[in-house]
Amino acid sequence: MRIAVAMSGGVDSSVAALLLKEEGHEVVGLSMQLWDHSSEPGRTGRCCTADDLSDARRVAWALDVPHYVLDLEREFAASVVRPFVESYLAGNTPIFGICLGHQLVGLALGGKTYKLKFGHHGGNHPVRQERTGKIEITAHNHNFAVDPDSLKQSEVEMTHFDLNDGTLEGLRHRTMPLFTVQYHPEASPGPHDSHYLFGDFVKMMQEWKS
């Protein structure tokens, strides 16, 4: 069977190509160029980067499989980048910010951040979800926090607070599909106390799907 493998030069695609060839399949390596960032400071070539394409070519050569580069820059811009930017600027793109994402969203909403006297690091940080009053055991790794008093209460709901020092640990916009947490729910220190957030994000994406 002839099988096309999307090759980036990384381990996963390289191993997949190797295993398929060992199974007797006719493997063809494909890489994509999606946008031109040659004009950006400190960057050269197009995505995938020149290094990625070079790595993919070397892997294909080592496996003795043909390798082709697909120039999809125009198609990618028209079908992916432009619709995403338009939707994002209109406030219609669901966003789930985590850690630094929480702080960036806070700043974007007109808030301010401040440096903590003692940063939050490691596991076992108790955080209260304001809607339910439930306590989540969370993992932290941050030295700054968003000042809740700097945010407009009419636009932003404060959803989570740290029980150790009272810092803001979560927020949700009242009209746009946007919520954030300062801690790391993917770290699972609870171990599952905060997994509902991912379900909330999936639900939000479904509700805002155009």
Catalytic residue among 67, 99, 136, 160: 99
Catalytic residue among 102, 120, 125, 184: 184
Tokens of 179: 């919520």
Closest CA to 125 of 195, 183, 198, 170: 183
Query: Is 160 one of the annotated active-site residues of the chain?
Result: no
Q: Length of the chain, please?
A: 210
In three state form, how does the secondary structure of the chain look?
Answer: CEEEEECCCCHHHHHHHHHHHHCCCEEEEEEEECEECCCCCCCCCEECCHHHHHHHHHHHHHHCCCEEEEECHHHHHHHHHHHHHHHHHCCCCCEEEECHHHHHHHHHCCCCEEEEEEEEEEEEEEEEECCCCCEEEEEEEEEEEECHHHCCCCCEEEEEEECCCCCEEEEEECCCCEEEECCCHHHCCCCCCCCHHHHHHHHHHHHCCC
Query: Is 75 one of the annotated active-site residues of the chain?
Result: no
Neighbours of 196 (CB within 10 A): 14
Query: Is 184 one of the annotated active-site residues of the chain?
Result: yes
Catalytic residue among 22, 26, 86, 186: 186
Active site residues: 99, 184, 186
